[in-house]
Structure 1
Amino acid sequence: RMCGMLGCERTALEVAKLLYYLDPYRDPMSTLLHVDRYALASGQFQFLLDLQRMRIPLVGVERWDHVSGDDAAATEIRGQDLSRVSGSADADAEPVLNSALPSMSLSLALARFLSEPKDDPDSWMRQALLWYPHMLKPLLEECGVDTLGRRASEDERDWQPLFVQAEEASRMSREIDTDALVARLTAIHAKQNKAFWKRDDVLVWLYRVAQTTFSSEASTLAKTASDATFRLRRVARRYSQVQLTDFESQYPQLPPDMDILDPALLAPGMAPHLAHNARMQRQQAQAQEQWRQEAQHGFDPGDFLPDEFVEAHTRGGGG
């Protein structure tokens, strides 16, 4: 996070990759919620595509029994012949891949669109919207797009009918345990990557794919979304504790008149006005005064240890 705030996006990506690969199956530090942001910001789109192709499963997550669609994205996510994780409750179950997280599904679609040549981004964006239709509106709101349709005549993109269809599919597929998680992960993704989604070419692409996706029957959309959100229940326990403030790109600053060397600021327990530190402060002052007096008589305490150290080694006393 510190590397990212300093603009060192590639360095932040390498640190995030290191932390993620320490335990990719459980992801105890929720690194998956960071790594996609730094990959997109540093232009390392191929890393995200390679990460998806590695088919890393999330331990303890139920299998996808009914992933709809016959396109490339649906086939890939169903994950035929995936590696099994030792100790799983069902050795024959197809594990849920890390690419099934709401934020990661959006990042993968965006990476495929931004990469050259483009790698079938439409089917991946369509699959993400099918799984989590309620992601569309908060994503666009974070990007500053008018979701009320008041600017439809200006940008020639009327989002309002799409929101109605997405909301209908979401309402029919409500999963109380996962609604908050999907909203949280969508907010995190939008907050970190809105610079990409605000691009006009990306909005045109998103609008076109959303039109095609939500032209299906509401019941079909609801069935696909219900299957996806239902299987996020066990992931919810893992990622629901993540705070949005952990992904802020800003940090608190001290007032301009604040003395950064003030002991009370750096270490309140060392503040000289505290009674229990008075004795320690006097001892420090006495020691400093003694050093100054000895230095005036030609003795520099700073030279003592180095000289004694060299003499000891010259005599053979050093190890």
Structure 2
Amino acid sequence: MSSRALRRLRQEQLEATLDTNAEESEEEEEEEEVQKTGFLQLDSSEDESSEDESSDDEDSAAAAAQSTPKPTVKAKPAKVEKEEDIDTILSSFQPTKTHDVDAPSSSQTQTLRNILLNKNHGYDIQALDLDYAVKSLLGGVGDFENYPRGCGGGRGRGGGGGRRTVKKYLFGRPRESWGKPPSFVGGGLGCKELTEPVLQEERNSWTIPWPYNLQNESSNKDTSSPDASSTIPKQKWYTLTMADTYQDQQYAYHQLLRLNTSSRHSAAALEDPNTLAMFVADHPHYADTLLQLSMVLYHVNDRGRGGDLLRRCMYVFETALPSSVLPNSNDDGEYEVLMDVDRQPNQGLFAALFRIMQTSGMSGCHPNALMTGRFLLSLDPLRDPMGVLLILDYYALASRGSRVEGNETGALFVKELVECDLIKVHYKDPLTSRHWVCDLKDMPGWAFSYALALYRLANNDDCEDEEMQQKADDALVDALTKFPLVLPKLLAMNKVNTQDRSFIMDWPKVLPFFTAESDDAIEGTVQDRVAKGAGIHLVRIFVQRHHKLWAGDNVIQWMFKCADMVVDKISKPPPGGKNEEAEAAAAANAEDGNNQAGATHLTSKFHPSLVRYAQFDPSEYEDAFRTLPPEAIALDPNIIAPAMEFNANRRGRFLRRAQLPEEMMQGGREGLMMRLVGDNMGLEMLDPDSPLLQLYLQSLLPWNQVDGVAPPR
């Protein structure tokens, strides 16, 4: 499109936005010019008044198009437009927003994906790139101009001196040594939406999982009842798909695992990561083995190569995901974009995102961990298969770098996520099929994190909000009343002196009400005991990772003030009545001869829905991996090196028969035939980088096999 056509389009747009007063003044000027000159006889207003109703509409429209732009053309703006760039002219044609960016319109349905992945709620897409997040954390500026060649980009149409258009990857720029994963047509991974025609092609082998298949019950909002269910939003389900070549790689890997577990002579191959590294070298774009080898390197304290393989695994998944699933800068759709973790190979995507969040949090890059965790939670928020809710609040409160009007974006995110009431913790008993639902504030971690987020918002750098401070005090009082077990554990982890007394803090007066409950002293029904055991498990995970956020002197004084309020609340009788529980406890203490005021203990109340999180390992939420000595896992650098770099000209591997079981060795001729023809038992992989003469001589032996070539008859 030429610059003259662009200026004409811009002129028409400016004319369309004129107000009514300007139009009236222009019509008056046109009338005066008609009276003076007498040659503007094709004006549309004059034609409509003079011509009959049966006149042709097309002629009048053409006349209006010719007459309208003439009186409004000015000479000075035309000279200015000649100096403007074409990109500037095109940018003026962007559609204007019809609603405020800070608050969604009433007609727009607020979804959980909007809160988790919208930039108006503090979501920063650039923080998904680990390199950018680390450089921002260190105060540096990323080098975004020197993109490596061969990473999905090339020069533009402008010739040799133009800018190179490079495809942007959200989780980091790929390296040349990774290679480019094949598309679904080329034998890699793809993604599709599970619509009704797709499900019919699959013969309805998949259905919407629980609890997303629950009917909307807006009238039943009692989350304390066992049979309560929350309102399920509109959904769009996506899934990753595997091409035939990718399925063959998955079958070969599962066959290798099956062989290693079935033969006692090759059982050591499971403990030897060199076999896994050789498989990665031959299949460089198979995501599951990339993730497993990455975790092996992390556990031997090789973080550099482990992180490289982990990002390479995510690069394979990112090339397969469409833009409708990946987060974007303004994600304001009306549907929840979900994925089922039970479908293959979706589980690998969930595991890779969790490991990225985990390793980023261990390295101190909390913004990257927060943005990755928010994207992972948006894929399956009601079931939370990876346990993101156990650690996401920590990453939000630990990310104190970005601020909006003096407030921390992490604290704002915790406040909005809790108050939106869109996430419910669902649990169904597999034996009785009873259904329990609870809110985020029924989880110990989110109850205390919500109070801390309100406290930070009330005491920001700009001003102090007394109303917000009162709201924070009420939230912490409710958390301490519901989960008194947390207070002594937080003080013990932060090494707070609870024996001394002062006018500011008197812990010996308050702490006896919050004595730690014994794990064995659990009374009640089986359901109560299971719920309490799961609650204590969540408290252990919360304290071991979140205690650093509660280590400040001002935060400890605030905790004491709220704990003192809880003690006064349970000690003093309510107005107009008596505190029967306090009187009964005091009578029991008087019989025992204990007059200490702290003899009345608070009891933690855990919701049965928390049982769903009892299966998660606390070590997965620590700040470091439990490493093994290098001698425990003998890694061969000559085998690991080919797995770290992609080589398109790599030779295929040879397979030879390993030592067979004694039953086959004693089978005589039949055993020999099984060795020659066999049923793929006891395969051992040979290094393809061995000398060529050695590989040639091994290929002459009848019991050796080449990968992909049938054995001799």
User: Hey, what does 2:690 align to over in structure 1?
Assistant: 285
Question: Alpha-carbon deviation of 1:216?
Answer: 2.4
Kept after mapping to 2: 8 A contact 1:129/1:210 = yes
Q: Is 1:212 aligned to 2:565, yes or no?
A: yes
**TM-score between both structures, scaled by the size of structure 1:** 0.65
User: Hey, what does 2:605 align to over in structure 1?
Assistant: 229
Question: Alpha-carbon deviation of 1:113?
Answer: 0.9
Question: Alpha-carbon deviation of 1:89?
Answer: 8.4
Question: Alpha-carbon deviation of 1:262?
Answer: 4.2
- SS of 1:285 mapped into structure 2: coil
Whichever of the two has the greater Rg, that structure is 2
For residue 472 of structure 2, the aligned residue among 114, 117, 121 is 121
Q: Give the aligned residue type for 2:508.
A: Q
Kept after mapping to 1: 8 A contact 2:523/2:529 = no
- SS of 1:24 mapped into structure 2: coil
Kept after mapping to 2: 8 A contact 1:143/1:190 = no
For residue 176 of structure 1, the aligned residue among 510, 529, 539 is 529
Question: Alpha-carbon deviation of 1:183?
Answer: 2.3
> Mind listing any 5+ residue stretches in structure 1 that lack a counterpart?
63-87, 268-273, 291-319
Kept after mapping to 2: 8 A contact 1:55/1:97 = yes
Kept after mapping to 2: 8 A contact 1:45/1:112 = yes
User: Hey, what does 1:166 align to over in structure 2?
Assistant: 514
Q: Deviations over 1:264-303 (max 9, x none)?
A: 9999xxxxxx97888824x64233889xxxxxxxxxxxxx
Paired-residue identity, %: 25
Question: Alpha-carbon deviation of 1:207?
Answer: 0.3
- SS of 2:473 mapped into structure 1: helix
Q: Which has the higher helix share?
A: 1
> Aligned pair in 2 of structure 1 residues 138, 279: CA closer, same or farther (>3 Å)?
closer
Question: Alpha-carbon deviation of 1:57?
Answer: 4.1
User: Hey, what does 1:188 align to over in structure 2?
Assistant: 541
For residue 197 of structure 1, the aligned residue among 542, 546, 550 is 550
Kept after mapping to 2: 8 A contact 1:109/1:121 = yes
Aligned counterparts, 1:1-319, within 5 A: 1-43=358-400, 44-60=410-426, 96-115=438-457, 116=460, 117=464, 119=468, 120-147=471-498, 149=499, 151-152=500-501, 157-167=505-515, 175-217=528-570, 219=581, 229=605, 232-233=607-608, 235-253=609-627, 255=629, 261-262=636-637, 280-281=686-687, 284-287=689-692
> Aligned pair in 2 of structure 1 residues 4, 60: CA closer, same or farther (>3 Å)?
closer
Q: Deviations over 1:112-147 (max 9, x none)?
A: 112235522101101101111222111211222244
> Aligned pair in 2 of structure 1 residues 28, 146: CA closer, same or farther (>3 Å)?
same
> Aligned pair in 2 of structure 1 residues 215, 61: CA closer, same or farther (>3 Å)?
farther
Q: Distance in 1 between matches of 2:532 and 2:566?
A: 21
Question: Alpha-carbon deviation of 1:111?
Answer: 1.0
RMSD: 4.0
Q: Distance in 1 between matches of 2:425 and 2:689?
A: 55
Q: Distance in 1 between matches of 2:393 and 2:554?
A: 20
Q: Distance in 2 between matches of 1:47 and 1:172?
A: 36
Q: Deviations over 1:219-251 (max 9, x none)?
A: 37x9xx77x725x12x23201112211111112
User: Hey, what does 2:306 align to over in structure 1?
Assistant: none
- SS of 1:192 mapped into structure 2: helix
Q: Deviations over 1:25-49 (max 9, x none)?
A: 2222211111101001103111101
- SS of 1:121 mapped into structure 2: helix
Question: Alpha-carbon deviation of 1:173?
Answer: 8.7
> Aligned pair in 2 of structure 1 residues 278, 52: CA closer, same or farther (>3 Å)?
closer
Q: Give the aligned residue type for 2:380.
A: D
Kept after mapping to 1: 8 A contact 2:440/2:446 = yes
Q: Which has the higher strand share?
A: 2
> Aligned pair in 2 of structure 1 residues 210, 172: CA closer, same or farther (>3 Å)?
farther
> Mind listing any 5+ residue stretches in structure 2 that lack a counterpart?
1-357, 401-409, 572-580, 586-601, 644-657, 660-681, 696-713
